[in-house]
């Protein structure tokens, strides 16, 4: 017996961890700094850490009040009804829920390239087809309604990422509104705002609720996560904010108790830890400015907690940076073999990364010139 045909599916390629790289190179993990996975350099919200310790003994219980309390807190944060919050096991769990609620067999989704691979992976798991629209490197990965509409062909779901991973570009709300207006009534526009806290833009939740001069829409949903600004990537907690009309679908697509007891407790504590979030956002903004100003290569403007750097040969640069103890993301898996992505770290981590990148680029330039000067024999 064999599993179903998975030949069209691809495996998700995550950023490499310190232990993995240290083991491969036969070195001490303490020699490395990891700036490959867009994690929080200040760690988890301290309030969340306290909550996890205090409630560790309750792990034998299914989530109950913690789930309801967290949903209420998130809804209050965004000024929406509790029923509009679809809590999930990470942002990827919310992606699955939205596909379960929308896709019939042979429905299609439209996803950005480069972009988060799991949009397409999840659609295929739910027997959907995947089409792509391109965010062009030569256009600084600009996100406009026109870019998407040029490729739109009646897909059931359109995925937007704002800020976009790996470039850091964003899509203005008026462009998202135009896209919603010019697509079919049965097309859902999903705005993935996993990095939203780091951007100086309003959330697309304004479009759901008809705020700030926008008409309320029933064809836009928004994804958010506790993984980045709150530093809770390890407990897997995310959510979707959906239109009122979608509220009743949650109980039919939700995996029972998908968000764990400890994740819910951590999220409930973290959501009020504004000091930690403010510190994290300020660190990211300072770091990305430093990288743009000081790295000897083109760095794209970013509104995420990371930057994309043009280095010509990503795999070679990433490998040489590992030798220097700095782990970054080789963006070849995103279809950008000439780019690396660097997570915004602390001042010390950022300074170390900048020095290492500049040294590697200088060495490669010397090597290239040396090879060019060797006469043919």
Question: 123 — phi, psi (to 5°)?
Answer: -60, -45
Give the pLDDT score at 255. Answer: 85
**Binning pLDDT at 50, 70 and 90, where does residue 85 land?**
very high
Residues 33/39, Cβ–Cβ less than 8 Å: no
Give the pLDDT score at 8. Answer: 75
Residue 41 token pair = 């350099």
Residue 15 token pair = 């950023």
Average pLDDT, the chain: 93
Determine which helix (DSSP H) or strand (DSSP E) holds 139, and give its type and residue range: none
Q: In a 3-state reduction of DSSP, which class is residue 155?
A: coil
Between the ranges 22-26, 144-148, 242-246, where is the mean pLDDT highest?
A: 144-148
In the sheet with 339-343, reading across from the earlier edge strand, the strands are: 306-310, 339-343, 329-330
Q: Where are the domains of the chain?
A: 18-43+274-369, 46-270
**Binning pLDDT at 50, 70 and 90, where does residue 364 land?**
confident
Residue 67 token pair = 């789930």
Is 18-43+274-369's fold the same as 46-270's? Answer: no
CATH number of 46-270: 3.40.640.10
Task: Give pTM, 2 decimals.
Answer: 0.93
- Give the Cα separation of 120 and 265 in Å (integer): 31
Q: Answer whether the bond into residue 37 is a cis peptide, omega within 30°.
A: no
Compute the average pLDDT of residues 108-118.
97
| Residue 333 CA: distances (Å) to CA of 133, 296, 327, 340, 343 | 17, 23, 16, 11, 16
Number of DSSP helices (H) and strands (E) in the chain, helices first? 13, 12
DSSP label at residue 105: T
Q: In a 3-state reduction of DSSP, which class is residue 90?
A: helix
Residue 79 token pair = 């000024």
Looking at per-residue pLDDT, the higher value among 60 and 346 belongs to 346
Alpha helices in 273-336 (DSSP H): 274-294, 314-323
* Beta bridge mates, 192: 161, 223
In CATH, which of 1.10.3720.10, 1.10.645.10, 2.60.40.10, 3.90.1150.10 is domain 18-43+274-369?
3.90.1150.10
């Amino acid at each position: 017996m064999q599993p179903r045909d998975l030949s069209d599916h691809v495996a998700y390629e995550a950023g490499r961890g310190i232990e993995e790289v240290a083991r491969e190179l036969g070195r001490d993990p303490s020699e490395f700094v990891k700036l490959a996975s867009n994690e929080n350099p200040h760690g988890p919200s301290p309030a969340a850490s306290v909550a996890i310790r205090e409630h560790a003994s309750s792990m034998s219980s299914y989530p109950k009040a913690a789930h309801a309390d967290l949903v209420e807190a998130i809804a209050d944060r965004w000024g929406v009804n509790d029923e509009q919050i679809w809590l999930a096991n990470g942002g990827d769990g919310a992606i699955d829920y939205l596909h379960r609620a929308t896709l019939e067999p042979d429905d299609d989704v439209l996803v950005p390239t480069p972009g988060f691979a799991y949009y397409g992976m999840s659609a295929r798991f739910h027997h959907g087809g995947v089409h792509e629209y391109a965010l062009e490197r030569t256009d600084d990965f600009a996100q406009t309604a026109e870019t998407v509409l040029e490729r739109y062909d009646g897909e059931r779901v359109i995925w937007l990422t704002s800020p976009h991973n790996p470039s850091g570009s964003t899509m203005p709300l008026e462009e998202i509104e135009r896209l919603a207006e010019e697509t079919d009534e049965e097309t859902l526009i999903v705005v993935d705002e996993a990095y939203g806290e780091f951007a100086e833009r309003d959330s697309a939740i304004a479009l759901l609720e008809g705020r700030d001069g926008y008409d309320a829409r029933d064809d836009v949903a928004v994804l958010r996560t506790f993984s980045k600004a709150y530093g809770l990537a390890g407990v897997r907690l995310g959510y979707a904010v959906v239109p009122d009309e979608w509220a009743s679908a949650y109980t039919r697509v939700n995996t029972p108790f998908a968000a764990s007891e400890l994740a819910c407790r951590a999220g409930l504590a973290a959501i009020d830890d504004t000091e930690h979030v403010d510190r994290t956002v300020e660190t990211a903004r300072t770091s990305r400015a430093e990288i743009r100003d000081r790295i000897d290569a083109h760095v794209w403007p970013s509104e995420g907690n990371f930057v994309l750097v043009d280095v010509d040969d990503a795999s070679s640069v990433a490998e040489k940076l590992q030798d220097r103890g700095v782990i970054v993301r080789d963006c070849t898996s995103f279809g950008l073999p000439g780019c690396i992505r660097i997570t915004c770290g602390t001042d010390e981590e950022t300074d170390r990364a900048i020095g290492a990148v500049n040294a590697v680029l200088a060495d490669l330039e010397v090597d290239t010139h040396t090879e060019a000067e060797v006469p043919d024999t």
